[in-house]
Structure 1
Amino acid sequence: MKKLFIHHALFRLLSPLFSGTLVYLLILLINNNIGQVQESFLGQELYVCIGLAYVIQEYARLSLLVFERIGGSISFLAHLLLQIITSIGVCVLLVSLSMYLYFNYVLGYTPNARELLIFNSLFALITLIYVLLYKSHQFLYMVNTERINREVEAKKGIEADFAHFKKGINPRLLFESLEAILVIMKTEPEEAESLSDHFSAVYRYLLSKRVNELVPVSEEVEILKDHIKLFNHLPYRKVELRLADLKDSWTVPGSFLMLTEKIIRSTIPSESKRLKLNIDDKEDRIEFHYETEEVLNGGLDSSGLKDINRSYSFYSDRDIQLSEGVSYKTIKLPKLQLHESSHP
């Protein structure tokens, strides 16, 4: 919590001067001795009040620090009442002890009950103001922090919804596919029809599977074939997909498509050379293996897998791993089993 101004050195130095002077003037007013102000304003009693103000305000500040560390399971109101009662009680003891010492050893007589009541009331009021000032600041901090946390959570929810929306729509691929269809349909209508079939299949899958937590790998692979055929019509490196016999397992919807797109977009386009993408089945993972000829700016690294990794983290304790050699990269996706999903 931001440091309250009562803890600042300048306030601690100057505040008792004003509060002690105020207490002195109030005592004169209560005792009908206001005329003494003109006679001996800078008298001994004023210095005693200022000195006592220093003691009480430093004690009050210390009590705030002590009670700040005393939390427990008690409510805010109970904590406030306990702090007020304790702080004022100790303040009364300090003021009474100080007055007894001053009156006995300096003035030479014992203070009466009325004098103790006046001093204790005024300095107890100062302590009460300190406590209430601090607790009001603390309460406002709690309320504002709660509101900020709600705003942060709402922002995260909106960002997550937008990311999920973009994941399902993939506007970049959408516009590129539509542009390719517009170009091809003028010269090769049949090819444009084939392209539109792949396009519609991919987007039907993306939109229909948004509500599913997991899907079978076999289902994801089938739509991956349409996805790669769609990309092969675009001005990127042409992709040759080599699939192993993938055993029954589950995956996050669209993860194969997203990963393949990241691989394709991070590879230098070429009309003469194909990108050979191998998908192999291992004991506990599925591996995407390919030879790398990456673009100079925007190559695929671990940071580029954060969104996929985040999706997988809900269903597996294992992270998606990226390993690379001199001329190849391998991305390892953990296999997900049916019992790890709430998929119907």
Structure 2
Amino acid sequence: MYENKIRVIAPLFLFFFQFTFFYAMLVHDWTSAFHCLAVSFFHSLTCSEGARLLVFSIRRYYPGNRNMTRRLPLMLLYGLPLMFVIAGLNHFFAIAIEFYYKVKWEDYFFVDGITILCSLLVVGLYEGLYYISQWKNLFIESERLKKSNLDSQYKFLKDQIKPHFLFNSLNTLSSLISTNPEKAEEFVEEMAAVYRYLLKKNRKELTTFKEERIFLESYLLMLRTRFEDSLRVNIAVSESKEEYLLPPFVLQILIENAVKHNIVSKDKPLTINIYTDIEDNLHIENTLQRKQNPEPSDKTGLQNLLSRYQLINHENRLMIREEDGLFKVVIPLIHINKYENIVE
């Protein structure tokens, strides 16, 4: 604790301060040197302990930074009488060791001034460091509560993935059962494999691009059961980017969104390109060929993704835009060193 350090350092500092600036000039021989050293040490010790007693006594009733405006007037009210008492003790000590035989009595009030000055220095030191300590604790607690709140929000958003994914998968399965029972059976097998993977990875706040791509390959096998060659996904990401981080299931959500809102047929195959740029941004773009009668949508997927990414990465935000007949989402990849504790 800083209080214990002050209790040791303050008397030593005051001792050198008083002796150097006030008593060293009175040293003429070994006797006067002993007197000056003894008085300096005794004055420093009583000033330091008196100031400590004053600070802790008042702080006991009015703790915290909010009560500083209450503490300071009380320290002034009770501190001045206490400082005169301490000054009296210092004078009795000086008389006891016959120090006043070496100086003039008119220096009495000068010594009182030194006592009050030194006590104020110690009080200021205690209160200043106490204020900093309390502010630091409040800041840490505020950050802890903020992180806890963000974690709770993120968990809530992340948990929406499983029912959202299941709902869309069951819709796909329902359409296949009536049109192609054999493909429906294959779809169920792929769906079971993908869902096992999803449950395994869903506990992570962040995942590497490599893990995300492995999951995506499993997910694409399930989609190709339905769309065959009508869905084309091209991934051009260098191996150097595979250890970069992003929220899990980002690619799955975006591909699912593209399939849901665009025509996917042999006549109009849907092309999705995934690549990175020199600024380590991940681009996911698809040809824009909207359905004439789109399925009802509550925009849960993209909104979920935006919210999750905002909670994790405040520095760079996910961007969504349309240009040149393409629907594009740009995701800043996160360097692994920044969040390496999260992915362990």
More RCO (CA 8 Å, sep 6+): 2
TM-score w.r.t. structure 1 length?
Answer: 0.47
Q: Name the TM-score, length of structure 2 as normaliser.
A: 0.47
Structure with bigger helix share is 2
